[in-house]
């Protein structure tokens, strides 16, 4: 069965620090997709990244980077030089090929302190 675990319920860091949000997933499929979403205080989820199971290359987008490791079933998200605007709830999600649903983790609430 699919499962996404975000063990960090809440994290607080001071602005400009780097922070990593952990995501561990479970699936029996060899083909699957992983996602990260950001939910700012306004409530609307914003898509950040999608990665398929055959692409283990790490990705960097500005201050954001993602580390996908199939060996540990992890898809961690790092924010470099954090800013107050990064404060939000971040969700990791998983879908299996052949399925038509996405399973979300419970989210990590990130506080960036000025």
What residues make contact with another protein under the rule CB under 8 A? Answer: 9, 33, 35, 37, 42-47, 50, 91, 95-102, 104-107
Taking the complex as a whole, the smallest distance from the CB of residue 109 to another protein amounts, in Å, to 9
Taking the complex as a whole, the smallest distance from the CB of residue 64 to another protein amounts, in Å, to 15
Q: Which is nearer to another protein, 2 or 65 (CB)?
A: 2
Taking the complex as a whole, the smallest distance from the CB of residue 42 to another protein amounts, in Å, to 7
Q: Which is nearer to another protein, 9 or 71 (CB)?
A: 9
DSSP for the chain reads --EEE---SEEEEETT--EEE--EEE-S-SSEEEEEEEE-TT---EEEEEEETT----EEETTEEEEEEGGGTEEEEEESS--GGG-EEEEEEEEETT----EE---EEEEEE-
Q: Which is nearer to another protein, 28 or 101 (CB)?
A: 101
């Amino acid at each position: 069965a699919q499962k996404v675990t975000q063990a960090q319920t809440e994290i607080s860091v001071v602005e400009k620090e780097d922070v990593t949000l952990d995501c561990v997933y479970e699936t029996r499929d060899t083909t699957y997709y992983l996602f990260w979403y950001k939910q700012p205080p306004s409530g609307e989820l914003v898509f950040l990244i999608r990665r398929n199971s055959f692409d283990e290359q790490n990705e960097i987008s500005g201050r954001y980077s993602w580390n996908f490791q199939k060996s540990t079933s992890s898809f961690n998200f790092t924010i470099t030089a954090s800013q107050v605007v990064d404060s939000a709830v971040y969700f990791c999600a998983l879908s299996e090929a052949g399925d038509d649903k996405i399973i979300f983790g419970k989210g990590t609430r990130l506080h960036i302190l000025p």
